[in-house]
Amino acid sequence: MTEAALNALATSVLDCAFRVHRRLGPGLLESAYEACLAFELTRSTIPFRQQLALPLVYEGNKLCDVGYRLDLLIADQIIVEVKAIEAVHAVHHAQLLSYLRLSDKRLGLLINFNVAVLKDGICRKVNRL
């Protein structure tokens, strides 16, 4: 996928997130935002997979069920990590970067819905493959 197409896809995903936040506002559980974002993605015909298991490859061995799950994988290109927390910390950024590395994906979006203005809760991460 070209850089322009990837950016356009990310913009469409964020448009869906803005619709969810406009309707719900902050203060709900992460699972509620994830479910509503999945609904908006479906309505926008954006392909995605939800709660996708992320295997860990260690010394050439694929360790399948170690508990890592991608909240949303958009069009097999963009990882979306949904949060509903008071504050995003370095560990949350590290989590998304680790998921990008483990899955060989280039772009990740960390979206914290527990903010008054959603643009303040969005962080874009790029994996330099």
User: Is the pLDDT confidence value at 117 over 80?
Assistant: yes
pLDDT digits (tens, 9 = 90+) for 35-64: 999 999 999 999 999 999 998 888 888 876
Whether the pTM exceeds 0.85: the reply is: yes
Average pLDDT over residues 7-26: 98
For tokens 């910390």, what's the residue?
89
53/65: higher pLDDT: 53
User: Is the pLDDT confidence value at 24 over 80?
Assistant: yes
* The pLDDT of residue 60: 84
Identity of the residue numbered 105: K
* The pLDDT of residue 55: 86
Where are the domains positioned within the chain? 3-126
Residue 109 contacts residue 11 (beta carbons within 8 Å) = no
Q: CA 43, CA 85: separation in Å to the nearest integer?
A: 26
User: Is the pLDDT confidence value at 9 over 80?
Assistant: yes
* The pLDDT of residue 115: 98
* The pLDDT of residue 65: 74
DSSP-derived pairing of the beta strands 61-63 and 69-74: unpaired
